[in-house]
Structure 1
Amino acid sequence: MIPNRSTKIGRNELCPCGSKMKYKRCHGAVTALPEPKAGALDAQARKLNAKPTCLSPADFHADCNGSIIDSHTVSRSGSLGAIVRDGHVYSYALSIQSLEQTGGRVLPKLVGWRVASTFPGFCKHHDKQLFAPLEDQPFTGTAEQCFLLGYRAVARELYTKQNSFNQAKLRSALASSTRDASLKMMIDDFNHGVELGLRDSQAHKERYDRVLVKRDWQSCRALVVEFNGVFPIQCATGLFPLQDIHGNRLQDMGPSAHSPSTITVASFAADGKSFVVLSWLDDSDEVSRKLADSIAACAALDMPGVIAALLLQTSENCHLAPDWYDPLSEDGKKWVEAQVMEGISPLAATPPPARAGGAQYLGAISVSQTTRL
């Protein structure tokens, strides 16, 4: 069932902006209010984040032990450790304040590698126990390992979508105060899309939970790309693929009783080389396999650039090697920025990954082999 739009704010509710005033006397008032400071808005948005909880399957919650920890979606020791310089990697942290400081540009920022890629997703016990086949064993591309890479990404996507849903009324309140009807309509449509995205993410997380509980690894499909060196972009994300790398349409998004197909993408390092794993479940095979097929059919020389563009265009959870990013030419850094904007701005007109032209920025790294599950 499609959820009803739930961002209407009651006049006597406390204003979502955090002023502790009733909405009718704050952002819902007839008279215009002073424009709030970016830092204050970011702080209020963080207060609305989902309450940390262990995102392991409900069947496992009786075994929860320890506090909810900041779980790494990209392994700290293996992956981030392979690209770190002086304890830092480049990451993206979108905020109103950062956009204000950069004039609307989305640029990576050096952050400590211990906090990069983290989210409060699992209790200490399940963060260790669930992902032991990834963290404590060599990566050999088993169905279990590919599934767990996807599971971690799906859990993070659910958490981020819940946060965005919780912030919907804040967005509506700020749009109302501008008296701009077109902006209010755009925010209303965006919030409704967030509702639908949360619904679909919840449905897929439940499906992944069932596979994990039953250890039904044969339900997992995957494409594993192995590189001969360390890929400079480490990432973990889940997405509803709309097109393949050539821009061919795969599925449509919008109001529907059925959840769209999903796929996860993980880029990580292990034993001095890197892997990019696209994984999905069998119920998403018809759509997600086509994206994987389009990548597998790439010429080996083109594949690093295509994958780099795909990661940057589809996820803000990308972490860049300083020793790769800093020496890039001005054109190279503009290329990175253009890929990132494609995933953020509806006005961006960046070519799809196969035509993005990124191979020249990936240096000597090359594909060793590709395998399918």
Structure 2
Amino acid sequence: MIVGVDNIPEFNQKIGRNALCPCGSKKKFKHCHGHHSNPPETNIYAASSKVRVMNAKGECYSPSDMHYDCTRGTINAHTVSRSGSLGAIQRDGHVYSYDLRLEAIQKNGAALTPVSTGWKTASTFPGFCGFHDKHLFMPLEDQPFIGSREQCFLIAYRSVARELHAKATSAKQTKLRLAYAGKSAIARSNIATFNKGVELGLRDSQRHKSRYDNVLTKKDWSQVKGVLVEFDNVFPIQCASGVFPEADFFGREVQRLGWGNDTPDALTFSSFAADGKSYFLLCWLLDSDASCVPFAAAISEIERDALPAVLASYILQVTENCHFAPAWYDALTDDGKLWCREQSISGHFYGNLPPPIKNCAVPFFGGINVKNIVHI
């Protein structure tokens, strides 16, 4: 489907000069980052701390009709299962996850760098209360994985909730980004465009989350579509994420995102382990068939011996919620680690890469073969 129009609408949100500066200095904006001639230099560590505080505020993303069951507060819920998935790749209780602190990203030239992370905290977000984190996912966590539509939906639901949380917290940072843009007209224009994209992304994520909530409350698994790839060995990168897909693994357009009121099709993807097996799942709802069916169909065009590497390239290019097996990552050559780094900056104006089919690195995924592909 083609979404929206080509022209970017003006984003008019401004910071009042007498309002407190979003940086947290407790000064008025006009005396801080809004100063007409001498704004303070941006302190990357203070900015990073401010962002982390914003990200830590969560809510239970269970359907609103179920909130009467909520226990007080939220917990750090795993988007990638701790015992099944992270447990399959951990070493001495740790996995490698991206360091998402602003100062680390700046230091590494916008590339994301894997660092050792305790497997109990990796992949978590404050997205569910204790009751719903346990009870919503019981058919997935407490039963053998058989690849049912219900189980695949629950894997996707975690990704949808996590993406909504990420966009909601990014939306809260709108004025902070404007403040740090300074007086540069170009910088402020770029930030305004970025903020408008965040606004639309949040709107569209809320719409899709509502659709997923409807499926969950009605248990209407007939709305669930997907492709499940089973490997014969543990896939070394575990992830959970969601996107509005624009192009498939070959770089062919499946939908065009724009700035209008239409809602783009949405797709979730996850790599995970369960019951001693390892999987990659694409999942979507029936109303996103127009883009997701051709996207998923591209899998059948990829040679099976190259598929693990192609999927890895795609994962690393489009999500930061990635968790690496330390044994696999440490065994990579310098070229292998460089390949991972290059994938992580895809999408930046200086980091555009060829599509995954042309940028996969098959030798780095030796010993991992596709055992089965099931259409859900």
Shared topology, TM-score over 0.5?
Answer: yes
CA distance in 1, matches of 2:294, 2:243: 14
1:109 aligns with 2:115: yes
Does the Cα contact within 8 Å between 2:111 and 2:342 map onto a contact in 1? no
1:98 aligns to what? 104
Match of 1:279 in 2: 283
Kindly indicate whether the alpha-carbon contact (under 8 Å) linking 1:267 and 1:274 is maintained by their aligned counterparts in 2. yes
Instruction: State how 1:61-80 maps to structure 2 within 5 Å.
Output: 61-80=67-86
Partner of 1:354: 357
Matched, 1:319 2:323: yes
- Superposition RMSD in Å: 1.6
Q: Supply the distance in 1 between the matched residues of 2:180 and 2:276 (Cα, whole angstroms).
A: 48
SS of match in other structure, 2:345 = helix
Please name the residue that 1:235 is paired with.
239
Number of matched pairs: 370
Q: What are the residue-to-residue correspondences of 1:121-140 with 2, within 5 Å?
A: 121-140=127-146
Residues 9 and 259 in structure 2, CA contact (< 8 A), matched pair in contact too: no
Structure 2: unaligned runs, 5 residues or longer: none
Partner letter of residue 227 of structure 1? Answer: F
Amino acid at match of 1:20: K
User: What is the distance in 2 between the residues matched to 1:289 and 1:104?
Assistant: 33
The answer (yes or no) to whether the contact 1:3–1:195 under 8 Å persists in 2 is no
TM-score norm. by structure 1 comes to 0.96
For the pair 1:12 / 2:18, whether they are aligned, the reply is: yes
- Residue 197 (structure 2) pairs with residue 193 (structure 1): yes
- In 2, the alpha carbon distance for the partners of 1:132 and 1:6 equals 45
Distance change >3 Å, CA 286–CA 335, structure 1 → 2: same
Q: Partner residue of 2:125?
A: 119
Q: Any conservation in 2 of the 1:66–1:125 contact (CA below 8 Å)? A: no
Q: Is the 8 A contact 2:250 2:357 kept in 1?
A: yes
Q: Which of 213, 217, 227 does residue 213 from structure 1 map onto?
A: 217
Residue type at the aligned position of 2:116: L
Match of 2:250 among 215, 232, 246: 246
Residue 151, structure 1, aligned to residue 154, structure 2: no
Which of these residues, 281, 297, 305, is aligned with residue 293 of structure 1? Answer: 297
CA distance in 2, matches of 1:342, 1:160: 19
1:199-248 CA-to-partner distances (Å, cap 9, x unmatched) read 00000000100000000001000100000010000000010000000000
How far does residue 36 in structure 1 lie from its aligned partner after superposition?
2.9
How far did 1:304 drift?
Answer: 0.4
Where does the alignment leave 5 or more consecutive residues of structure 1 unmatched? Answer: none
In structure 2, C-alpha distance between the alignment counterparts of 1:138 and 1:308, rounded to whole Å: 26
**Which residue of structure 2 lines up, in the alignment, with residue 307 of structure 1?**
311
> CA separation in 2, counterparts of 1:216 and 1:3?
38
The offset of 1:269, in angstroms, is: 0.7
- 1:13-28 matched pairs, under 5 angstroms: 13-28=19-34
Match of 1:222 in 2: 226
Identity of aligned residues (%): 50
SS at match of 1:222: strand
Do structure 1's residue 47 and structure 2's residue 50 form an aligned pair? no
Report the counterpart of residue 37 of structure 1 in structure 2: 43
Aligned to 2:373: 370
Q: Residue type matched to 1:362 in 2?
A: F
Q: What is the rounded CA distance, in whole Å, between the counterparts of 1:3 and 1:126 in structure 2? A: 39
CA contact (8 A) 1:50 1:166 kept: no
1:250 is paired with a residue of what secondary structure? coil
TM normalised by structure 2 equals: 0.95
Matched to 1:209, the amino acid is D
Q: Which amino acid aligns with 1:57?
A: P
The alpha-carbon deviation at position 103 of structure 1 amounts to 4.1
CA distance in 2, matches of 1:287, 1:126: 31
Q: Which amino acid aligns with 1:102?
A: N
Deviation readout 1:24-45 (Å, 9 max, x if unpaired): 1111111223313211111112
The Cα offsets for residues 44-85 of structure 1, whole Å up to 9 and x where unpaired, read as 122333732111000101111243111000000000000001
User: 2:277 matched to 1:266?
Assistant: no
TM-aligned CA deviation for residue 6 of structure 1: 5.8
Give 1:82-97 correspondences, 5 Å limit.
82-97=88-103
| 3-state secondary structure, aligned to 1:247 | coil
